[in-house]
Amino acid sequence: MHIHITFEHNRGIVYRSKSSKTGQIAAIKVCSRDALNVDEEMKEVDVWKNLEHKNVVNLISFELSKSHLFLVTEIMNGGELFDAIVARGEKIGYTEQWARKISVDIVNALAYLHENGVVHRDLKPENLLLSEKENFVIKLADFGFAGILDKTHRELHDRLGTPGYAAPEILLEKDYGTEVDMWSFGVVLYILLCGYTPFDDEDEDEQDRCIVGGIYEFDDEDWGHVSKEAKDLVRKCLTVNQSTRYTAKQVLSHPWMKVDLKSDKILHNAHGNMKKYTARRRLKRAMHTVRASVKMRLSIGSGSFKAKLEALKKSVDSETLKVDGV
């Protein structure tokens, strides 16, 4: 059996499926149990299945077999956020106003999660997807690292996240809550406005030192055309002190998020920098995909994998779904 791999996403492979009757398209993320902590992965399902918001990718169904975990989600035809920004910039230009509109969708998702006691803990470009290529909505995906805050667990302490996006308190192994997501948003916002990360991503030790110290700068060459309101919001989110870091609600009330910009200049440098940044990420993704492809092909030779995938496809909307390449 040959399976076409759409792309690798964190701990699994994502396939594209299409209903033979209605044409409905869905995504199936397949994770090998050999590479999973099953209890942790089921926590992801328990969190994700209860979420319903326009800026959160919808989990349609799931299945756990002896060898794999299958997650069926709505398809995101617009792809990843930064790839879309690069493509748009080539056509009509990338502006601060567009960055603001993107930010509103991201923070609306975070506000919803935080109101429901969910901490995402892995906000980064790869987990920000577009519903469509045009007239899109930004949606937050992948809840593999998500944590729950409730009456018995008011704080989290696991050292989880992606290097470069994880908050200082995570690196320092301190207790934390929803504020770690707001730090990650600050990193994403910084990239949206200038096209590269605020902290050195070539040297991980130096990166961690700068994160813990809150050391970053607004280089005039790349930030000279960015509004003072935008820079102020970045500072409010990239605040080392957890207690004074802006919450999602505070971000949504910030002047930069609420008012359309009278002068909306094209961020030429940001687009060019992001094009380079995205190219580096794409290369790393390709390398991960090759490794994941080899591992997955070793496991899909079994009849149990094919049978479970076929059964799952039928359960999505009581119809037979066809997976590309299968």
Task: For residue 232, indicate whether it is catalytic.
Answer: no
Same domain, yes or no: 261 and 311: no
Same domain, yes or no: 89 and 58: no
Q: What is the pLDDT of residues 68-122, one digit of tens each?
A: 888 889 999 888 898 888 887 677 778 899 999 999 999 999 999 999 999 999 9
Same domain, yes or no: 169 and 237: yes
Same domain, yes or no: 104 and 232: yes
Q: Are 324 and 4 in contact (CB under 8 A)?
A: yes
Domain assignment present for residue 324? The answer is no
Same domain, yes or no: 90 and 172: yes
- Long-range pairs, 245-248, Cβ under 8 A, ≥24: 245/179, 245/182, 245/183, 246/182, 247/114, 247/178, 247/179, 247/182, 248/107, 248/110, 248/111, 248/114, 248/178, 248/181, 248/182
Q: Averaged over 242-250, what is the pLDDT?
A: 97
Same domain, yes or no: 119 and 33: no
Q: What is the pLDDT of residues 155-172, one digit of tens each?
A: 898 888 999 999 999 999
pLDDT at 8 exceeding the cut of 90:
no
CA 322 to chain centre: 26
Q: What is the pLDDT of residues 309-326, one digit of tens each?
A: 555 555 544 343 444 433
Domain assignment present for residue 282? The answer is no
Q: Which of 122, 142, 200, 208 is catalytic?
A: 122
The whole-number pLDDT of residue 199 equals 92
Residue range(s) defining the domain that contains residue 65:
7-76+287-319
List, in sequence order, every residue forming a beta bridge with 138; answer none if it has no partner: 130
Domain assignment present for residue 61? The answer is yes
Same domain, yes or no: 266 and 153: yes
The whole-number pLDDT of residue 6 equals 42
What rounded mean pLDDT belongs to the chain?
82
Phi, psi angle pair for 28, to nearest 5°: -120, 115
Same domain, yes or no: 101 and 232: yes
203/223 Cα distance (integer angstroms): 23
Same domain, yes or no: 298 and 310: yes
Domain assignment present for residue 17? The answer is yes
110/322 Cα distance (integer angstroms): 34
Q: Domain count of the chain?
A: 2
**pLDDT cut 70: percent of the chain above it:** 79
The whole-number pLDDT of residue 187 equals 97
The whole-number pLDDT of residue 197 equals 93
Domain assignment present for residue 196? The answer is yes
24/291 Cα distance (integer angstroms): 30
Same domain, yes or no: 33 and 150: no
Domain assignment present for residue 326? The answer is no
Same domain, yes or no: 147 and 121: yes
Q: Averaged over 247-266, what is the pLDDT?
A: 85
CATH of the domain at 296: 3.30.200.20
10/208 Cα distance (integer angstroms): 22
Same domain, yes or no: 235 and 272: yes
Q: Are 61 and 312 in contact (CB under 8 A)?
A: yes
The whole-number pLDDT of residue 2 equals 29
Which string of b and e fits 265-304 if b means at least 16 CB within 10 Å? Answer: eebebbbebbbebbeebeeeeeeebeebeeebeebbeeee
Of residues 223 and 66, the one with the higher pLDDT is 223
Domain assignment present for residue 264? The answer is yes
Q: What is the pLDDT of residues 172-194, one digit of tens each?
A: 999 999 999 999 999 999 999 99
CATH of the domain at 171: 1.10.510.10
pLDDT at 38 exceeding the cut of 70:
no
Domain assignment present for residue 1? The answer is no
3-class DSSP string for the chain:
CCCCCCEEECCEEEEEEEECCCCCEEEEEEEEHHHCCHHHHHHHHHHHCCCCCCCECCEEEEEECCCEEEEEEECCCCEEHHHHHHHHHHHCCCEHHHHHHHHHHHHHHHHHHHHCCEECCCCCHHHEEECCCCCCCEEECCCCCCEECCCCCCCECCCCCCCCCCCHHHHCCCCECCHHHHHHHHHHHHHHHHCCCCCCCCCHHHHHHHHHHCCCCCCHHHHCCCCHHHHHHHHHHCCCCCCCCCCHHHHHHCHHHHCCCCCCCECHHHHHHHHHHHHHHHHHHHHHHHHHHHHHHHHCCCHHHHHHHHHHHHHCCCCCEEECCC
Identify the top-confidence range among 19-23, 292-296, 303-307: 19-23
